[in-house]
Amino acid sequence: EAQVTQNPRYLITVTGKKLTVTCSQNMNHEYMSWYRQDPGLGLRQIYYSMNVEVTDKGDVPEGYKVSRKEKRNFPLILESPSPNQTSLYFCASSLSPSSYEQYFGPGTRLTVT
Amino acid sequence: RKEVEQDPGPFNVPEGATVAFNCTYSNSASQSFFWYRQDCRKEPKLLMSVYSSGNEDGRFTAQLNRASQYISLLIRDSKLSDSATYLCVVNTGTDKLIFGTGTRLQVFP
């Protein structure tokens, strides 16, 4: 089954404690991205990757890191989480960002206290 | 001005009604347009792409008006299961997609 998986689905953590949210896709997609969704603000792109070892900042990259060492995986790293990073996070993949369907993971609900 | 703007709603309509949403975009160089559906706290899923000539998929019709820079989504014969948030998505010709904040639809019996 074609899918994007994220882990964990729910996470409550404390300020400053490093965390990683994993994302994996089994569709051999080149394009992957991370979004956060907040009430009234919609989906905002954090980082995206056009291919292995190629990543770029989205609209709200501050406080986040990513890596793309393999095509299928695109982890999101919060080195020192802060309460303003409390949000719903989605990973997505597609053949390209322009004309093809974006497949989203189920989401990770993160709370930073 | 936001790059992609939508009326947040909610649009409360009875079953069987016809409802239409608009979405405006600011970048005239935008190339690709989509409607996604998002159920509460779930991931967005593609509803339909929007082509220059307009396209229809069952009860759903999407239209693009480049001159006025907006896209529309028309839902005919609304079902209870159509209740969701509808996201307008625009590709401006770069490597990024811009998502609208969504329009919430609530269909009641």
One-character DSSP codes across chain A? ---EEEE-SEEEE-TT--EEEEEEESS--SEEEEEEEETTTEEEEEEEEEETTEEEE-S--TT-EE--SSSSB--EEESS--GGG-EEEEEEEES-TTTSPPEEP--EEEEE-
Q: Which residue has the higher pLDDT, B27 or B24?
A: B24
Establish if B40 touches chain A: CB-CB under 8 angstroms: no
Q: Among B41, B42, B46, select the one facing A102 at the smallest CB separation.
A: B46
Percent with pLDDT over 70 in chain A: 99
Rounded to 5°, the CA angle B47-B48-B53 comes to: 160
Asked whether residue B36 carries a pLDDT value surpassing 80, the answer given is yes
* Rounded average pLDDT over B65-76: 95
Q: From chain A, pick out residues whose CB is under 8 angstroms from the CB of B101.
A: 40-42
Distance of CA A23 to the CA centre of its chain: 7
pLDDT digits (tens, 9 = 90+) for A50-97: 999 999 999 999 999 999 999 999 999 999 999 999 999 999 999 887
pLDDT band at residue B52 using 50, 70 and 90 as cut-offs:
confident
Establish if B96 touches chain A: CB-CB under 8 angstroms: yes
CB contact under 8 A, A107 and B43: yes
pLDDT band at residue B55 using 50, 70 and 90 as cut-offs:
very high
| Contact yes or no for B38/B82 (Cβ under 8 A) | no
Phi first, then psi: what are they for B21, rounded to 5°?
-120, 145
CA distance B8 to chain A (A): 9
Asked whether residue B94 carries a pLDDT value surpassing 80, the answer given is no
* Rounded average pLDDT over B54-77: 95
The two three-digit tokens of residue A38, written as one number = 């907040």
CB contact under 8 A, A107 and B42: yes
How confident is the model at residue B41, as a pLDDT? 83
Q: Among A33, A50, A90, select the one facing B43 at the smallest CB separation.
A: A90
CA distance B56 to chain A (A): 17
Q: From chain A, pick out residues whose CB is under 8 angstroms from the CB of B87.
A: 42-43
pLDDT band at residue B47 using 50, 70 and 90 as cut-offs:
very high
